[in-house]
Amino acid sequence: MYKKFTAIYCGNAIINALMRLFTILLILCLHASVFAFAQRINLDKKNATFTSVMKEIKKQSGYYVLYDAEALMEAPRIDVQIKNATLSQALEKCFEGLSLQYVIKDNNIIISKKKRVPIVMAQPKVQQKEISGRVTDEVGQPLEGVTVRIKGFQSGTVTDERGDYRLPVGQGNHLVFSMIGYMGHEEAISETTTTVNVVLKEDVMAMDEVVVVGYSTRRQSELSSAVSIVSGDDLRDVTSNNVQAMLQGKAPGLVVSNPSGDPTAAPAVVIRGSSSITAGSGPLYVVDGIIGGSANPSDVESVTVLKDAAATGLYGSRAANGVVIITTKSGKVGKTKVDFNGSYGVNTAVFGNVHMMNSQQLYEYQRTFWDPATFDRDRPASLLEQNTNWIDLAFRSGITQNYTLAVSSGSEKTQLYISGKYYKEQGTLHNNELQNFNLRSNISHTFNKKLKLDVKLNLTTSDSETEVSESDFYTALYAAFTNMPWDRPYNEDGTVRRGTEPDWMGNVKANFLYGWQYNFDKGRSSSISGDINLHYTIRPDLTFSTYNRARYTNAKGELYYDARTNAGNGSGRLANDFNYGYGLISSNRLNYDKVVGKHSFRALGVIEGEKNYSDVNGMVGQGLLPGLHVMNAASTAINTTGTVSESSFTKGLVQLDYNYANRYFVVGSFINESSSRFGANNRSANFYTIGASWMLSNENFMTDMAGIDQLRLRGSYGVIGNAQIANYAALGIYSFASQYAGYSASFPQRAPNDDLTWEKAKTANIGLDIGLVKRITMNVDIYDKTSDALLLNVPLPGTSGYTSLLQNVGSVQNKGLEINLRTHNLTGKLQWETNVNVAFNRSKVLALNDDKDIIAGAANINTLLRVGEDLNTFYLKRWVGVDPTNGDPLWEIVNTDENGNTGISSTNDYSIATSQIVGSSSPDFTGGIMNELRYKRFSLNAFFNFVSGNLVYNRLRGVYDSDGVYPEFNQLQLSNDESRWLQPGDVTTHPKSVLGGNKNSNQPSSRWLEDGSYIRLRNITLSYELPTTLLSRLKMAKASVFVSGDNLWTGTSYSGMDPEVQLGSGDGVSFRKYPISKKVLFGLNIQL
């Protein structure tokens, strides 16, 4: 049936649908209230049971009647005659003389037994005494909201913000203190006790947290799937403005690579190995229950990473690469809280093992291969008078600042969370920075028992600057490595040189310091997203929810080359581009939840529609007078571009969930989804998942086993999809984005593929969760994820008129093991907690079309897809070494004769060397180790992440260690275990250097592959909580100061800048990258 429904949810209809839905819901709500108050009650009953009378009232009034069954059983039969009475009048009449009382609350009539007031009244007042005291945590911080009651009685009180409580005590001899997240505590009291101060210990094994999974929340114990949870606090140790960057190493199987230190660049995320190549390999993000969206790290309450099919399945079509669910903070019932968080610090660039030559080193190196007759002419000794360190000139210590102010408050009816944030990070490269403002407002309001509204607004503005310097060909990042140490950046009089002076030696005839004075590349963007969610309780066991989000983005880019600079070409050039986009999504869900004895059922039905739109326009003008960088000032319009892009998705799903006695859990779901991106023949697809788990520790035979807190076995299987491809990818199209001689022109841009369909991943997962002696928790998962109908840009013969075609080819398997171990090593005064996660993943190509190899890759750094091989296999010529007789480079030739015997020989001719499999960029394992030490008010956190067993292609060397190919580029210093061939007989790592290059020795080959294993101290934080005595004088509830360091240490044998490369997607190539930063930050957290 829902197939019919999905057909409706697409294109512009979504907007209509949303508006109509809202209107209807609003009207309904209003009507409901009007009916309720206007309705008059008429009753004429004789000797009727009290229950039947209440049913009649319910029917007439539309109010629910909630009651204690026992109480009503005792009620006598009554006679009642009422005409045209109000509800209250009617009820008053019915309850006359009964030992029952009622309350009208929202839409409910709540009936209970009358309290036995007389007994209380009978207690002599003198016996009433009061106990007061303060509740604190182990470091002496007051705890607010602790429930304090007398054992055996339900009434009690809660502590205030100073942790203080007062409780009248009539009888009983024990006080019970309880609070979620802390171990309960009992304190004996005597008749003379007046003060009880208590220290509550944190319940370190609070294992049964509520987890946001997909379209619902579950207790962790109810999950049948592989999920990892990262709390907001664990997330926020590293300083960044990017949630993805902060997730690195924090969840097993989640691999985050930050291949750049550029604050404006986003990291890449891969969950459980990449099984997609052309289609995106990044996970699907879900913010606050709706696909897409973004959240500022400081607003994050928790992050849930869904990994196996049972969990991701509901996101069917787009969840093949896992799902990252981000939940933002919401207001809590209680006193208003104000939190301030500020940090300030310094970033410096990390160049790893890269050391460029200085003036002397370069001079001596070039002498070895220059023609002696012309060396003194081309390289006069006077060059040695100058020794410029261009890297020092290009880079700086950047400043990072981060300030957040958040207010949260709430009454029973309304809760709100509002936060504002300012973030500014200067790149370590000059003229590169990012500045963000963020405002979030999450408001929940409960109208009545039935209707609840959430409104979430998120507003972000971003200003960024990217370095541009003196040339539209080469950036300062390029020049910093390339420029010769012999060139002077400044004239004698201190003015900046242009780089075009005749004595300038370097290949880049430009001095980036000159361009920095006038040129710039700036961007700004703003985005606003608003969520409106309504939850309507149709019946206590049936809820209808609608989640709706509209998101708008606007961006502008400005690139300006001043007429005074080289890049300005004498006339000045300005490029502007403008981007506008919106996304609309509506997700409507019906939730059924029923418990019958030990059986509990849940059912979920969802219908969802999404539409995305974006347009981009650009223009380039030239002929601008110096300093004038608006388009009006351009004398000539050179180029204009612009296009529009749209996509739509529709989805329907059902999920059924059953559990028996909290011991056996089964969940199954079925999803149908369609996307405009796929071929007409295969636009919609079905996905399904099934999961089951067995909570062994809830079995009777287990409950007596000492030390086992939790033992659970999980299993799941499902089919999910991947649609991360370009819009319109299935269409064969003629593009009109060209011209000839002033005429509009069209040309065939893409071949059609009407059969293009979803990439589908089949994932099987078996997991084990163990909790031991309240101190150890371990989650182990093994999985097999096989992606079929793999989406790949298959290279076509150029003679076909196209170079590639997006096709569904073959299948790829990822198998792996994930372990997450959390231990509380010490729990005394000194607390020590360790969290280790490690993931092993093996990928293998299982099938390809006709089992034909596919060779891909950029810049001749080829990768190979071959059945039976790793997905990320390097396919290069194998480097043999250096011929000691003449210093020639040698590569391997593999000859296969008619009988299939292979012989290996070597050659110095690059063009005839054999391309072959030389290794893989897939790591053997990845993971992270987090250690947390707490002593009194101090806490120390250290977080390491590691990657092992992958090969990295060090492309930097092909340019800066090139055996004479680039004599106008600075070169890398050799490390201690490297040597160059100088004379016959030398056995060396490097061939003879020859002016202009030695037989293509620097071309791509296994020569540049290196072990990319590393371990990095991603973050270390020391923080101190201020003592309560000081705080109360400062009128603060809580305050702490911290110092934190990011990327302070890396252990690796990799010779390039940074072994951290993009993993997955057949990458693993490292080049002249923007170096990552070491950050040292000081910060302050205050709570009022």
Partner 1 sequence: MKPTYIKIYATAILFVFMLPACEKDLNPYDSKSDNVALATPEDLQTATYGVYARLITNTYSTINTAMFGLSEYQGDNIAANVPQASAFSYSVRYTHYPGMAATTNFWNDSYKLIYSANRIIERIKDGESPVLDQIKGENLFLRAMAHFNLMRFFARPYPQGEGNLGIVLKDNTKLDFPARSTVKEVYDFMISDLLKSAELMTVNKNACFASKEVAFALLSRIYLYKEDNENAIIYANKVLESSRYHLLDTDQYKTYFTFVPENNPETIFAFRNNIVNNSKGTLGGMYYNDPITQTTGFGQIGASLAYAELLDKYPEDARHSFIQRQLEPDGSQLEQNGVPVIYVLKYNFQEGETNLSSPVYLRLAEMYLNRAEANAKLGNLQQALDDVNIIRTRAGIPDAGLYTLDDLKDHTSVLEVVLEERRLELAFEGHRSFDLFRNNLPMIRAYPGFHGTNNFDHEVQPNDPRIIYFIPENETNVNPNLDQNP
Q: Which of residues 950-969 bind partner 1 (CB under 8 A)?
A: 962, 965-969
In sequence order, what are the residues at sequence separation of 6 or more whose Cβ sits closer than 8 angstroms to the Cβ of residue 138?
Answer: 199, 200, 201, 202
Indicate the pairing of strand 284-287 with strand 323-328.
parallel
Q: Which is nearer to partner 1, 139 or 619 (CB)?
A: 619
Site size toward partner 1, by CB under 8 A: 102
Q: How far apart, in Å, do the first and last CA atoms of the chain sit?
A: 54
Contacts of 424 (CB under 8 A, 6+ apart): 399, 400, 401, 402, 433, 434, 435, 436
Q: How far is the CB of 455 from partner 1 (least distance, A)?
A: 21
Residue 1008: half-sphere exposure toward Cβ, Cα within 13 Å:
27
Q: Which stretch binds partner 1 (CB under 8 A): 200-208, 595-603, 746-754, 1033-1041?
A: 746-754
Token pair in block for residue 621: 């003008």
Q: Which lies closer to partner 1 via its Cβ, residue 627 or residue 752?
A: 752
* CB burial of residue 175 (10 Å; 0-12, 13-18, 19+): buried
Q: Are 1063 and 947 in contact (CB under 8 A)?
A: yes
The H or E element that residue 219 is part of is strand 216-219
Stretch that binds partner 1, among 170-178, 282-290, 731-739, 782-790 (CB under 8 A): 731-739
User: Which of 328, 548 has the CB closer to partner 1?
Assistant: 548
Find the shortest distance in angstroms from Cβ 733 to partner 1: 4
What gap in Å lies between CA 785 and CA 759, rounded to an integer?
12
Select the span of 89-97, 156-164, 574-582, 988-996 touching partner 1 (CB under 8 A): 988-996
Copy the structure tokens of residue 632: 């009006």
Among 380, 752, 984, 1051, binds partner 1 (CB under 8 A): 752
Those residues with Cβ within 8 angstroms of residue 634's Cβ, 6 or more apart along the chain or in another chain? 572, 574, 621, 622, 623, 624
Interface residue with partner 1, options 638, 830, 894, 1030 (CB under 8 A): 638
Backbone angles phi, psi at 244, to 5 degrees: -60, -45
Specify the residue for token string 């309720």.
Answer: 36
121-157 b/e (C-beta count within 10 Å ≥ 16 → b): eeeeeeeeeebebbbbbebbbbbbbbbbbbeeeeeee
Q: Judged by CB, which is closer to partner 1: 178, or 579?
A: 579
What backbone torsions phi and psi does residue 897 show, to the nearest 5 degrees? -85, -175
Instruction: Give least dist CB 728 to partner 1, A.
Output: 5
Q: Contact between 686 and partner 1 (CB under 8 A)?
A: no
> Minimum CB separation from partner 1 for residue 1037, in Å?
46
Q: Convert residues 348-377 into a mask of x (bound to partner 1 by CB under 8 A) and - (unbound).
A: --------------------------x--x
The minimum distance between CB 606 and partner 1, in angstroms, equals 13
* Rg, Å, the chain Cα set: 35
Residues within window 470-509 making contact with partner 1, judged by CB under 8 A: 472-473, 498, 500, 507, 509
CB 995 within 8 A of CB 964: yes
Q: Which one among 545, 566, 682, 693 touches partner 1, defined by CB under 8 A?
A: 566
Residue 742 or 985: the one with the smaller Cβ distance to partner 1 is: 742
Identify which range of 90-98, 166-174, 773-781, 994-1002 contacts partner 1 by CB under 8 A: 994-1002
Q: Is the distance from CB of 409 to CB of 329 less than 8 angstroms? A: no
Q: Give the Cα separation of 378 and 362 in Å (integer).
A: 14
Q: How would DSSP label each residue in 888-933?
A: -EEEEEEEE-TTS-EEEEEES-GGGSPEEEEEE---SEEEEEEEEE
For partner 1, which stretch binds (CB under 8 A), given 84-92, 229-237, 427-435, 645-653? 645-653
H helix or E strand, kind and range, residue 304 = strand 300-306
The DSSP H or E segment spanning 301 is strand 300-306
Given candidates 724, 793, 1003, 1052, which one binds partner 1 under the rule CB under 8 A?
A: 1003
The residue from 5, 403, 447, 832 that contacts partner 1 (CB under 8 A) is 5
* Candidate list 252, 273, 289, 568; residue touching partner 1; CB under 8 A: 568
Out of 168, 170, 801, 1051, the residue judged to bind partner 1 by CB under 8 A:
801
Q: Which of 150, 152, 183, 177 is nearest to 164 (CA)?
A: 177
The secondary structure element, H or E, covering residue 476 is helix 476-482
CB neighbours of residue 858 within 10 Å: 10
Amino acid (1-letter code) at residue 479:
A
CB closer to partner 1, 710 vs 1002: 1002
**CB of residue 670 vs partner 1: minimum separation in angstroms?**
19
Supply the minimum distance, in Å, between the C-beta of residue 20 and partner 1. Answer: 6
CB of residue 727 vs partner 1: minimum separation in angstroms? 7
Contact region with partner 1 (CB under 8 A), list: 10-18, 273-281, 387-395, 1031-1039: 10-18
Please say whether the beta carbons of 242 and 1022 come within 8 A.
no
> Which one, of 170, 12, 10, 4, lies nearest residue 650 by Cα?
10
Asked if 42 is part of the footprint of partner 1 (rule: CB under 8 A), the reply reads: no
Given the complex with partner 1, which of 7 and 630 has the nearer CB atom? 7
In the numeric block, the tokens 């000492």 are attached to 706
Site string (604-633) toward partner 1, x via CB under 8 A: ---x--------------------------
DSSP 975-994: PTT--B--STT---SBPPP-
Q: Find out whether 320 and 281 touch, Cβ atoms under 8 Å.
A: no
Question: Residue 901's CB: how many other CB atoms inside 10 A?
Answer: 8
Q: Closest CB to partner 1 among 955 and 1038?
A: 955
Nearest to partner 1 of 632, 739 (CB atom): 739
The CB-of-1049 to partner 1 minimum distance in angstroms stands at: 37
How far is it, in rounded angstroms, from Cα 290 to Cα 549?
7
Q: Rounded to the nearest 10 degrees, what angle do helices 87-95 and 50-61 cross at? A: 180
Name the minimum Å distance from CB 106 to partner 1.
Answer: 15
Site for partner 1 in 840-869 (CB under 8 A): 855, 859-860
- Which of these segments, 642-650, 812-820, 1007-1015, 1043-1051, binds partner 1 (CB under 8 A)? 642-650
Report the nearest approach of partner 1 to the CB of residue 535 (Å).
Answer: 15
Among 316, 997, 1066, 1068, binds partner 1 (CB under 8 A): 997
Nearer to partner 1, 368 or 800 (CB): 800
Stretch of 739-747, 838-846, 924-932, 1043-1051 lying at the interface with partner 1 (CB under 8 A): 739-747
List beta partners, residue 667.
Answer: 657, 691
Q: Which of 3, 55, 59, 174 binds partner 1 (CB under 8 A)?
A: 59
Q: Which stretch binds partner 1 (CB under 8 A): 126-134, 153-161, 393-401, 637-645?
A: 637-645
In the complex, least distance from residue 13 CB atom to partner 1, rounded to whole angstroms = 5
**Is residue 91 helix, strand or coil?**
helix
Q: Which is nearer to partner 1, 652 or 1083 (CB)?
A: 652
Instruction: State the minimum distance, in angstroms, from the CB of residue 447 to partner 1.
Output: 16
> Per rule CB under 8 A, is residue 38 in the interface with partner 1?
no
Q: 581 vs 795, which CB is nearer to partner 1? A: 795
* Shorter beta-carbon distance to partner 1: residue 408 or 962: 962
What token pair was written down for 254?
């989640």
| Residue 967, number of CB atoms within 10 A of its CB | 22
> Which residue, 31 or 598, is less far from partner 1 as judged by CB?
31
Which of 99, 101, 336, 636 forms a contact with partner 1 (CB under 8 A)?
A: 636
